[in-house]
Amino acid sequence: MKIFEQLLEDYVVDKDITPQALHDKIGAGLVYWADLDLQSLEIDVEPTNNDRINMTAAMQNLLTVLSQLILEDSLTGLFNRRYFKRALKSEMERNVREHRPVGLAVIDIDHFKRINDTWGHNVGDEVLKAVTMIMNRNVRQSDTLIRIGGEEFAVVMPNIRYQAAGDAMERLRADIANSIIPVDSDELRTSVSIGIAVREPNQIIHADELYKQADQALYQAKETGRNKVVLYGPPASTGLSSSEREALL
């Protein structure tokens, strides 16, 4: 907790917040300072001081802890929404340079509020962790799985075509729907709704627009019955013929 006391003293404007509250806010992705550049932190230690090595190691540990708190979700161990914005933008820029497609899936656990209201928030947390484990075993190593808030997740999928993205998320959806989550002496089942958008190589759209498209597809999935996968836009919108699309899958 000394780390957070020091942060309050040196960096945080709101001095009324407690160290524990600061820890919780950072863990939830609610950061109190504006884009703190951790790499710019320096230690004023004489080069001949034997404590320099220890101080350097302590600073490296501090930076590691802060990076985890700022960019990772403490419950699931996934990256959080703050990281999501950077990851999606970076991946889209890279795929533009390499002339490759990139997909984005937005995943929402169906009726999650009902789970919390019926079973309690502790069980809700267990459901989030169980769903995270199922998603982890269904995404590719090259994909980035992120908890963007509450019961909502995202998967950034580099170099993936329209139908392949749909097939991958359909497998994930089915795995979750068919899984049993043990709750004390009982068993619980849940499902997810998934919206997908794909930026093809010949399309020029920004990260925010791709996210809006995936979110619109998610909304459609939820409005038409939940426990389903919806892709934004027809494959024909990519400008490729059916045979070309099949050859690229």
**Concatenated DSSP letters for 50-119?**
THHHHHHHHHHHHHHHHHHHHHB-TTT-SB-HHHHHHHHHHHHHHHHHTT--EEEEEEEETTHHHHHHHH
Q: Look at residue 168 and give its three-state secondary structure.
A: helix
Amino acid at 82: R
Above 80 in pLDDT, residue 57? Answer: no
Lowest-confidence pick of 2-6, 66-70, 176-180: 2-6
Least Cα distance to 135 among 185, 187, 190 occurs for: 190
**Which positions are catalytic?**
151
Q: Look at residue 123 and give its three-state secondary structure.
A: helix
**Bridge-based pairing state of the strands 144-149 and 152-158:** antiparallel
Least Cα distance to 233 among 204, 203, 198, 206 occurs for: 198
Question: What pLDDT is stored for residue 199 in this prediction?
Answer: 94
**Bridge-based pairing state of the strands 229-231 and 192-199:** parallel
pLDDT class of 68 with cuts at 50, 70, 90: low
Amino acid at 225: G
Question: What pLDDT is stored for residue 185 in this prediction?
Answer: 77
Give the residue, 33 or 17, on which the prediction is more confident.
Answer: 17
Above 60 in pLDDT, residue 123? Answer: yes
The mean pLDDT of the chain is 79
% of the chain at pLDDT higher than 90? 54
Question: What pLDDT is stored for residue 74 in this prediction?
Answer: 86
What's the pLDDT tens digit per position in 125-172? 999 999 999 999 999 999 999 999 999 999 999 999 999 999 999 999
Question: CATH 3.30.70.270: which residues of the chain?
Answer: 81-248
Q: Find out whether 213 and 197 touch, Cβ atoms under 8 Å.
A: yes
Which CATH superfamily is 81-248 part of? Reverse transcriptase/Diguanylate cyclase domain (3.30.70.270)
Above 60 in pLDDT, residue 47? Answer: no
Task: Give the CA distances from residue 71 to residues 87, 163, 174, 192, 196, in Å, rounded to whole numbers and listed in that order.
Answer: 11, 31, 29, 24, 24
Q: Which two tokens stand for residue 200?
A: 């093809």
